Structure 1
Amino acid sequence: MPSVALAVTDGTPLFELAAACEVFGVDRGLAEPWYDFTVCGDDGAAVGGWLTAGIRHGLDALADADTVIVPSCRDAEETPPPTLVAAVRAAHHAGARIASLCTGAFVLAEAGLLDGRRATTHWAHTTLLGDRYPAVSVDPDVLYIDDGDVLTSAGKAAGLDLCLHLVRTDHGTAVANALARSLVVPPHRQGGQAQYIPAAVSHGPDHALAGLLPWALEHVAEPLTVTDLARRAGMSTRNLARHFHAVTGVSPLRWLLTQRVRLAQELLETTDLSIEQLASRTGLGTATTLRRHFKEQLGVPPETYRRTFRP
């Protein structure tokens, strides 16, 4: 059973802590086994500024976990607690995968885990992170970064995106999507999506792509092109690209390819269709094209992905 430990100290904000508990600490019967979830920290720590946490395991127990989640700091301007920094460093040395949510990246940086790595945090604190830890390559423009054994995320909802990404990595797309449906959140926002998108287009239900995106998802298996999307939306391809960047943070082609690869992931997990059949079902046309885009986005060929999630 994969184990996940959540690090809690006095003053830990509530949102990211709660997100990790909802994702890893609640077994909804989506995969067997789910996670062995443990909260580690100081008993009686004040959480969110007004809740008192009853904690059975100290921070030293982080070293026993497969994955350690480090939520936000109480105050990014303060130096992270030395006991937390030492415990996170020890857990990483013991082989744990370490993931920070929002300003939890400051703990990882203080522990030296981000030296020479690309990392992110809440956009409001990226400059501070880079100034304080010049050995870290800070990217202020992404939702989260997966660097293998160390992962960092931007603020608030991006922490939930990272948690879902970890579930997707461990259990596959179908399980992660089912969990997202249970939580009533989008199933997948790419880590490279922009943290902050200027509101040139309304992001509410009346934005310019409100009718196009659901239609495109329903027809993603068809050989749609960017020109087809622009024609459906009644705008030029240049105008479509502008709206896509404003609403999704990516280009129309990148969005379309992402949806197709995501569909291929689900079909690889849930069916015995051949790669050629999958290419046809996902609108990617040929097995060669499917393999190229699949490996580009996920780092492994579709056959390897299937063996991992459909033994």
Structure 2
Amino acid sequence: MAVHRVAVLALDGATPLDLAIPAQIFNARPETPYETTLCALDAQVATSAGFSLVAGGGLDEVRDADTVIVPGFEPIVRPPDAVLDVLAEVRARGRRTVSICTGAFALAEAGILDGLHATTHWRHVGELERGFPAVTVDRDVLYVDQGDVLTSAGVCCGIDLCLHILRRDLGAGIANEIARGLVAAPHRDGGQAQYVPAPVAVAGDASLSATRAWALERLAEPLTLPVLARHAGLSQRTFIRRFGEETGTTPLRWLLGARLGRARELLETTDQPVDRVASDCGLGTATNLRLHFRRALDTTPTAYRRTFRTPGPARRPSP
């Protein structure tokens, strides 16, 4: 299995959690092809938390990587020209460039985001818009996938983006398994609105996570809005409002995403016919499954299975 080299490029003032997310998710495992190196302009990197890290690689390793990930950093200042030149070179060679949180400012300074959609931490979207008018900034998303250029919103949204990359590279089965090991949601719908400061919850308010977990175990069943609200012990109106506050999306949109995720995993890991997959994930018929696959993934269930239903070692991602 060919190695896919991932360079995590730490800038001065790097956010430790932003560094740890790709290091953990793209850690070498028997079922994945990743080889991840912490890289920096200088061997020692000062983090935003007040301690320093020693990088195992330099700009040469960034230049040779298949995927370059720039974690967030603060204060947000223009990176050295040597760093920007390497980032631009990597992009010009068609390699994948990724940012987490304020790492988007480094990609923008290198000209990588010009003409593209991108995002960053909700506190800094205005600053990104003002500083880089050639970039279309999406304010209310967890991450933006522009093919070989991907950006995430603040901090923990880096988990969502890295799992998305895993899913793209190796399929939902492996991504879901690694997500379970991290005790993270394999896929979250919603946007940054759920993180923007909001009034404190009223005393006695409880999370709807139990209802979401209950629903995930019953995706094949007819889970209507009244059924979900009844399980939560709320009126439908209150349930919709609370669900949106917690997830940034609607109950039915979340449910569709969960069912598509289940369908992808069944297509990868079983030989069930498409109509059985559609039934088991709650989408009813093969025709309905094909419709939603085409809308969400721009492919068919059969083509998806042909791509990801591969026995033996995991496939390597495209360089």
Q: TM-score higher than 0.5 here? A: yes
Query: Secondary structure, in 3 states, of the residue corresponding to 2:195?
Result: coil
State the SS of the aligned residue for 1:219: coil
Which residue matches 2:293?
Answer: 294
**2:115 aligned with 1:134, yes or no?**
no
Shift in CA distance, 10/236, structure 1 to aligned 2, threshold 3 Å: closer
Instruction: For 2:167 and 2:215, locate their aligned partners in 1 and report how far apart those are by CA, in whole Å.
Output: 23
Please tell me whether the aligned partners of residues 194 and 246 of structure 2 are also in contact (alpha carbons under 8 angstroms): no
Contact 1:70 1:99 in 2 (8 A): yes
Tell me the equivalent position of 2:20.
Answer: 18
1:196 and 2:195 matched: yes
Q: Distance in 1 between matches of 2:117 and 2:269?
A: 34
Q: Secondary structure at the match of 2:21?
A: helix
Q: Which moved more, 1:287-296 or 1:196-205?
A: 196-205
Q: Which amino acid aligns with 1:20?
A: P
Alignment of 1:78-157 (within 5 A): 78-157=77-156
1:53 corresponding residue in structure 2: 53
Are residues 1:303 and 2:305 paired? no
Q: What SS does the aligned partner of 1:53 have?
A: strand
Bigger mean CA deviation after superposition, 157-166 or 209-218: 209-218
CA apart distance, 1:49: 5.0
Q: CA deviation at 1:197?
A: 5.3
- CA 18–121 in structure 1, closer or farther in 2 if over 3 Å, else same: same
d(CA) in 2 for partners of 1:34, 1:154? 26
Please give the per-residue CA displacement for 1:109-152, whole angstroms capped at 9, x wherever unaligned: 11111112111100111110100001111122111111111111
Q: Distance in 1 between matches of 2:87 and 2:230?
A: 52
Q: How does 1:192-271 map to 2 (within 5 A)?
A: 192=191, 194-196=193-195, 199=198, 202=201, 207=206, 209-271=208-270
The one-letter amino acid paired with 2:9 is A
Unaligned ranges ≥5, structure 2: 311-319
Over 3 Å counting, the alpha-carbon distance change for 1:206 and 1:305 in structure 2 is farther
Once residues 297 and 258 of structure 1 are traced to their aligned partners in structure 2, the CA distance between those partners, rounded to angstroms, is 9
Matching residue of 2:66: 66
Which whole-Å CA distance do the structure 1 matches of 2:207 and 2:45 have between them? 46
| 1:21 maps to amino acid | A
**Correspondence for 1:44:** 44
Query: Could you tell me the TM-score, scaled by structure 2's length?
Result: 0.88
Asked whether the equivalents of residues 102 and 121 of structure 1 are also in contact (C-alpha less than 8 Å), the reply is yes
Higher relative contact order (CA 8 A, sep 6+): 2
Q: Distance in 1 between matches of 2:199 and 2:255?
A: 21
TM-score (norm: length of structure 1): 0.91
Cα distance change, pair 39–59 in 1 and its aligned pair in 2 (3 A): same
Which deviates more from structure 2 when the two are superposed, residues 273-282 or residues 185-194?
A: 185-194
**Cα distance in 1 for residues equivalent to 2:167 and 2:202:** 26
The number of aligned residues is 307
SS in 2 for 1:45: strand
Relative to structure 2, which stretch is displaced further, 122-131 or 297-306?
297-306
CA shift, 1:232, in A, is 3.3
